[in-house]
Structure 1
């Protein structure tokens, strides 16, 4: 029986596909009760009779691939017999450690490469979401999981938002069940289950708020709250824009667009070191650092419990 050392970003379903076996067979062979939970460095026994995966069309790989939750660029490169550099170049990826579920990748060579069997016992390598999470896991959620946390969110809206949400979670290294639960619970409360991407009030109440950087006439309305964790004030728009490489100070309306809004939420989460408190199960401190107090605590905790049941 061959063994394989789990790498960061691996999932049991992806490994089952890679070794032409089934998730249940892998789980049974390794005494895994929860097939959604494996961790980097874990030694898996591969059932006898596995073979290298083959694509349709005479063993030729497809010319494109849709990234799944848990994928890494290095894993995809190994699967299709190409290199991380070639994949990054073909898809204009500046940071090879950052890909997200739903992203469509072009495979170099127009589909001429064949997927290859991974080498057993490879050491862990970097993957989606930056530093290694403490208990394994991968960035991203499914539409079903998102709607289970936020039942008033429509299927269509969930599908529209999901690629942007997953990208943001990958950037912020929100990869473990505890981090996902805390993050989505806060988003659910702050945005009314992703219903509001812009503050309903005009923002005039923020006029002249120098603590928010609102020093020019009209800044209160111009830089009112936007996004699933509301970004408020000229200074915060400037800081988020600089971190994300987007001119939010000059174009504040972009902060409510899903492709930017979720990244802002991820930036805010990371800049306040909220993964640390989520890892510790300190949801109260997560709330304080987002809200400045504990407003709506009962509602936030309701979403948190719901998310914990999902993840």
Structure 2
């Protein structure tokens, strides 16, 4: 069974026609209850027996590969008979030294070599020149680990969120058991085990909060808490947007989209130097720097203990 990454403008019916299958078969294979609702970046499994679109020039069709711990882009390229440049271009990777566990890569067609088995003792994900995790650390978590920390998170949601979460953790160098435990514990509390990507309240309570940068009428509602770490206030949206190269101030709703939301959480974590406090086991200070106080401390500590046991 192969996979396909949904692109902007795709529909399930068009993809079914493209891969010589049916909408109902695609929906059933991927657990889709509403065939009219798919999203850019979603990974679809294509049922066996389809006719894959052929690569131009008579080469083989593109395939996909999920990054595993120990992978490097050069190693993946070598095993699939392609080049680092072609892989980077096919996947819009600006830094070939930065890939992360769980990332789904499109393998461009046209190469002549067949994939080979991974070789042992490869350098960690990220490669030479990439983020340097502490000794013994590695980027990323598994679906099983994530659900062990957040048992109310469904399998489907965990699978949907995992690539975005792992990318954010790699970018923020959240690579050790203590860092992972502290980060996921805070996210679990702030978002109700990733159930809420937008604050339930209207946000009106933040109106006029100049400490949050809410200086214009309607800013409280416009810049209410969003994402797994509940980014709040015009000033924070502006800062996160500048750091990530996304206009969050002009388009605040993007802060709840998984591809952006988890990166915001990673940026927030890094911008407050929270790895340092996680390394020291100072979970109370991590909480203070995220919350501004110690609200929900018992709940946060419960998730933290659970996560430490997982990792």
TM-score category, normalised to shorter length: 0.7 to 0.9
User: Which piece of structure 1 moves more, 93-102 or 264-273?
Assistant: 93-102
User: Which piece of structure 1 moves more, 41-50 or 65-74?
Assistant: 41-50
TM-superposed CA distance for 1:98, in Å, is 2.8
- Classify 1:37/1:88 alpha carbon distance in 2 versus 1 (closer, same or farther; 3 Å): same
Q: Distance in 1 between matches of 2:121 and 2:15?
A: 13
Please give the per-residue CA displacement for 1:198-248, whole angstroms capped at 9, x wherever unaligned: 111111111111111111100011001111101111111011011111111
TM-superposed CA distance for 1:252, in Å, is 0.5
TM-superposed CA distance for 1:29, in Å, is 41
- Classify 1:30/1:178 alpha carbon distance in 2 versus 1 (closer, same or farther; 3 Å): farther
TM-superposed CA distance for 1:14, in Å, is 36
User: Which piece of structure 1 moves more, 200-209 or 71-80?
Assistant: 71-80
User: Which piece of structure 1 moves more, 65-74 or 222-231?
Assistant: 65-74
User: Which piece of structure 1 moves more, 227-236 or 8-17?
Assistant: 8-17
TM-superposed CA distance for 1:69, in Å, is 4.0
Q: Distance in 2 between matches of 1:245 and 1:109?
A: 31
If the length of structure 1 is used for normalisation, what is the TM-score?
A: 0.74
Q: Distance in 1 between matches of 2:307 and 2:195?
A: 18
Q: Distance in 2 between matches of 1:9 and 1:135?
A: 43
- Classify 1:43/1:169 alpha carbon distance in 2 versus 1 (closer, same or farther; 3 Å): closer
Q: Distance in 2 between matches of 1:98 and 1:17?
A: 35
The answer (yes or no) to whether the contact 1:223–1:237 under 8 Å persists in 2 is: yes
TM-superposed CA distance for 1:37, in Å, is 40
Query: 2:229: which partner in 1?
Result: 229
The answer (yes or no) to whether the contact 1:19–1:52 under 8 Å persists in 2 is: yes
The answer (yes or no) to whether the contact 2:125–2:138 under 8 Å persists in 1 is: no
TM-superposed CA distance for 1:196, in Å, is 1.0
- Classify 1:91/1:55 alpha carbon distance in 2 versus 1 (closer, same or farther; 3 Å): closer
- Classify 1:180/1:33 alpha carbon distance in 2 versus 1 (closer, same or farther; 3 Å): farther
The answer (yes or no) to whether the contact 2:2–2:63 under 8 Å persists in 1 is: no
Q: Distance in 2 between matches of 1:40 and 1:304?
A: 32
- Classify 1:136/1:118 alpha carbon distance in 2 versus 1 (closer, same or farther; 3 Å): same
The answer (yes or no) to whether the contact 1:73–1:84 under 8 Å persists in 2 is: yes
The answer (yes or no) to whether the contact 1:97–1:129 under 8 Å persists in 2 is: yes
The answer (yes or no) to whether the contact 1:5–1:123 under 8 Å persists in 2 is: no
Please give the per-residue CA displacement for 1:78-127, whole angstroms capped at 9, x wherever unaligned: 43454422321232211223323343323345342245799999988953
Q: Distance in 1 between matches of 2:203 and 2:98?
A: 35
- Classify 1:198/1:273 alpha carbon distance in 2 versus 1 (closer, same or farther; 3 Å): same
Answer yes or no: is 1:196 the counterpart of 2:196: yes
Q: Distance in 2 between matches of 1:7 and 1:253?
A: 20
Q: Distance in 2 between matches of 1:125 and 1:62?
A: 23
Gaps of 5+ in 2: none
If the length of structure 2 is used for normalisation, what is the TM-score?
A: 0.74
SS in 2 for 1:57: helix
Q: Distance in 1 between matches of 2:137 and 2:263?
A: 20
Q: Distance in 2 between matches of 1:201 and 1:38?
A: 27
Please give the per-residue CA displacement for 1:52-100, whole angstroms capped at 9, x wherever unaligned: 9999999999843222244332332343454422321232211223323
SS in 2 for 1:68: coil
The answer (yes or no) to whether the contact 1:98–1:128 under 8 Å persists in 2 is: no
- Classify 1:123/1:215 alpha carbon distance in 2 versus 1 (closer, same or farther; 3 Å): closer
